[in-house]
Each structure stands twice: as C-alpha cells, then as structure tokens.
Structure 1
Amino acid sequence: MTFLMTGVAGYIGSVCAYNFMQRGYKVVGIDDISTGAKYAVDYLKQNSNFSFYEGDFADNNLLEKIAKENNIECIVHFAANTQVFESTQNPLKYYTNNVCKMVKLLEFANLHNINNFIFSSSAATYGNLIKDEIFEDDIKNPINPYGSTKLIGEMMLKEFSDSKQDFNYIALRYFNVAGASLQAKLGQYNPSTLLIKIAAQTASKQREKMYLYGDTYNTPDGSCIRDFIHVDDLANAHFCAYEYLKENKKSDYFNVGYSKGTSVKEVIKIMKEVSGVDFNVELAGKRAGDPDCLVANCDKIKKLTKWQAKYDDIKLICKSAYEWELFLKQIKGI
C-alpha cells in the first residue's frame, strides 16, 4: 500500500508520514519546502519506505512523474496555508493555495483512479459557536478566510464523491494540534503563530517575551479556550481514518480533539511550570478571526473507528514542545 502525502515536510505531515511508515506502509511525499523543513525530509529519508519529490503539489508534470513511478492508492492532503490571522490579511493567497490547487489534486486523483482521500480540515470551519462542545453536524460558519477555504475543500470532496461512485474521503477537523512527537525526533520546526510553540520558544529563551492576545473573551478567565491534541494522537487518527475508509468505503467527517478546553492563560501557566522558567508575557489586543472557544465532541470518531487518545495530558503536550525547542537550539546552534 502506497500513500501520497502532500505537505510532508510540515509539522503534521512529517509526523503522520513517520507513523504510517512505522506500520510498514510506503509513503511518497511531496513538498515545495516553502514553509516545511528540510530537516523533516532528511529525517524521513532514513526510512526505506519513504520517497520524496520536491515541488508544488499542483504541478501537473510532477504529479504525472509521481504516478508513473509509484502505485498510489490513497492521497493524504496536508499541504495548505494555515495561519488564521494571515488569512484575514491576504485572503487571495489562501484561496489560491487551499482551494485552487486542491482542484488540481482532485483532477489528478480522478485521472489516475485514486479513490481514497484523507483531508486535513479544521475546527475553523465551525466559526465562533457558543456552546460547550462542537459536534460534526453543527452549523459551519467560518469567521476567517482560512476556515472558509477548509470548508470549501470539504464541499469539493463531497460533490466530487457524489459524482464519482468509487471515490471516498475522510475529512478530519483538527482542533489545536500541539507538542512534539514522542515516537520520533519530529515536531514543529519553522516559525509559527501556534500558542504552545510560542510559549515553548519563550521558555527556551528563543524569544524575549510572548503576547497574550486579548483577555476579554467570553470565557472564565477572559482568554481564548482551545482543545489541544498531541500530534502523535492526531497522526494515529489519520491511520484509523484510512482503516475506516478501506473497510467501509464510505465518506465521512470526524472531529479530532480531546473534548476538553484549556485557556491561553492556563497554557502559559503550565508551560512555566514544566519548563521551570518564569518568562515574560505581555498583554496585546485581540487578533482578527479568533473565536472565543473551540472544544470538540469526539464521540463519532471513537465510535466509528479504532481511534483512542493516548496522550491526553496538557502537561505532557507542553513538556514535549519545550523539550523539542531545546533540541532545536542544539541542532541550530542557537
């Protein structure tokens, strides 16, 4: 079985590729390394089940070369622009990369009769729902272009699947992915706006300070609440989604999180605790596009697939992120 994974040099893509290869599957990775890390590609190349093609996942010539040299049976699509605030400042960039290029990938799947597709979607498709837990069937009302592009991606998959009898897909709606892999020397390598990454960088003295973007949200302590999931658990969710797809030949949508929320202020407190560093935090204004609270109901993925969380511990997530930053300082010579 051979999987084509786009965005394989990225944070989630690289960890998922490692997870699949540890199970004995072949992974063909494609990435232009514009936002991914060459380190991740070099690390994955240590496994004989990994092949890498550098370039744009929407490049028809490159895709044809991949199809000619490999028997692709499933596409796992990670490649996308993912920064919420940036999407509000440059929406056309997001529609180009996350929507227009995905059309090219679906055309490739159609041309080569690749009928299994796993899509990296997002909780940003829901928008700012005011409720304790978010279910897959809840209304979708994105409040930023990033979330809109992910919802359009899901719509394209559904309509393509409706038109092509044998094509099936799973859309995984990630909540807040965090931490570094506990199975491999892989984590979030490049600069990021993700909270736990930034807190870990500040604790490891790669930043002088971090910002708390708003403390007047409609939450108990005034800071945003998010459902943080460890990247290894998310990688395993992708494999369980593939097993479901293979066994049932049926498309579906799954939330992936832990069904519990942690506020920004709580994360900062925990990072200080696990690192032993009392770093500087400065209050700043709210960022455009940030919902008050996003917490998943994950009963569906647990009921329909074999997925179970193994690392549901915010302290473990923060500790792994902090230790990853210390490792990066060593290999970068910071």
Structure 2
Amino acid sequence: MSTKLKKSYRFAFRSSLFICLVLTVFLCATLLLINQFNWLLPIIFSPICFLVSFFIIQARVERFIYRRVKKIYDDVSLLESSSFSSKPVTTDMKTLTEEIGKFAEDKKVEIDTLKIREEYRKDFLGNVSHELKTPLFTVQGYILTLLDGAIKDSKVNEKYLKRANKGVERLIYIVKDLDMITKLEAGDLSLEKEEFDIIELIHNVFELLEMRAAKNEISLTFDMEYDEPIYVMGDSEKIQQVLTNLLVNSIKYGHPNGTTEVSVENLIKNKVIVRVTDNGEGIPKHHIPRLFERFYRVDQSGSRKEGGSGLGLAIVKHIIEAHDEKIYVESEVDVGSEFSFTLEKTSNKTL
C-alpha cells in the first residue's frame, strides 16, 4: 500500500535560520578582524546561506525520517481497524508523536475492552452451564430410575414422570429467558409501542399471580384506589413481563403475611413512575450495584430453592432501557425493597 508524504518545513526553516545567523555573524566578525568589512557581502551571503541550508536540510530530513517513519506507518496499517494507516506520513515530529500517542491510547482502550468482554464471556458460559446442569441432571436421574425398573411400579412412575416434567419446564424457562435477553442485548427484539392503561395491566398481573401469592401468604395490593385509567406509551406485553418479574421476586423473598404494594405516581410533566414495594427480607447494599447482571444472585451459596433462571432482573433492565426509560432500586435488610421504573404518559392519562 503506497503512503503519501505530508511535508513539514518548520524544522528545516528554523535550522537554516540558525545556521544563517551563526555564519553571518562569523563572517562579519572575520571581516572586521581583517579590516575588510563591507555591508554588501553579509547582505548577499545571508539569503544564499539560508536557501542552501534550507534545501539541504529539508531534503536530508525528508529522506531520513520518511524512510524510517514510513515503516512505522506500514506496520500499524496492518491493523485495519485503525484510521492511522490512511493518513500521510508526516515529517513533523510533534504531529507524528501526537498521532502515534493517540493510536496507542486507542489500542489500549480497545485491548482493555476486549479483556473485559473475555472475562464477561467466561462468567456467562460458567453461569449458563451451572444453571442448566441442575435440571438436566435431575431429569436424567428420574429417567434412569424409571428405566431401571421403577416404570413398572404404578405408585412411583407417575410421580417420577411429573418431577422429570418439572425439570424440563425449568429448562424451557431458562432457554426462553436466554433467548429474550440475547435479543434484547443485540437490539433484535423490536418493541410494539402502543397506548395502554397501566392500571388495567397491573390488575391483570395481580390476577395471574394471585394463586402464587396466596401460597406464599403475600398480599398484592395498590397503594390507593385508582378510579380512573392512567394511559402510558410502551410495549404492553414487555411491560407486563417487567411487572411480573418484579412481583414474582417480591413474592419469592417476602415474609409470610407480607405485602407487595404497587403505586403509579406523577414524576414530571410527561412521565409516571411505577413503584413495586414490599416488606420482605431486603437486599444488602453491597449487592445492589450488581442486581441487574445476568445470573447474579444475592444468595451466593448456590441454593436454588426459589428456582428462576437468574435472568429476571437483567431482562427487566433491558426492557426498560429499550423504552429509553430508567429503573431504580432501594432496599434495606429486614425492612423491604422498592423497585421503580418510569414510563411515558400520554395525553389521555388521568392522575
């Protein structure tokens, strides 16, 4: 690949000026010593000396720097991601130093980013393996027991088949969540925004989780009576999943006879904030910054008694951010937690 030369004359100009000044002074001093001083001679000598010095120095500098520096440009041009290779070779050392310094800094940032992504990839693969192997081994264990003869026992075979089916359902649940979060992160999951009543949507989620909440002795309620609809703009199906994930978490980690309360409040002129507040076990503060990471669990013991894919809050965060909105969390151990997110109001809302 040919590389063009971008000339710089500053070094040659300053050097020639310096040489001309020194030689002219030396010439004047010599003429004075021999009593032959004549103003015409220095006046003629100075420009000639300057021009000769300038052209010789410029030619030598260009040849010296170009031949050596061009190799640097050619070497870095092998990295096609860099725009450095498309620039002409400059003989100006200050410009060259700045260009190479910027190039090195960009590459350092790129390498650091790749290292972070590599660590993230390793963690992700480890977490996926950990999440999948438990239900897989469970299903395999029940099937092998049935194949070893338990299938002939009518009292055992149905029970083991039901347990194996639960393991398969858990696998499907994890795979679906993985598929959704992958699409969300890649930007491949399009939102179908529409105007809908957020109060009605919350009612629907309450009805879907009513039996689950009753089993855990958790009461799902509003903070007040909402007699009028509150219209917001968004993908109603995805927002329903956000509310479902948040309420399921509050049910899982709530205390018996506890309460999960949902409120919808004005935030600013064109925004509402939806709050999901419970009086459950709460979350230690040092866990809060990582709550929305994939597979991150507050319980680091590896216990899976509460089930779930470990992706619920990560999905919540991505859905809210896909709406260009914000999600917040506040929590205190043994007091409870509050998750809240914003939505865009529409002109038909009533608050």
Instruction: Report if TM-score (shorter chain) is over 0.5.
Output: no
* TM interval, short-chain normalised: under 0.3
Identify the structure with bigger relative contact order (alpha carbons < 8 Å, sequence gap 6+).
1
Structure label with greater radius of gyration = 2
Tell me the TM-score normalized by structure 1: 0.20
Tell me the TM-score normalized by structure 2: 0.20
Q: Give the structure with the higher percent helix.
A: 2
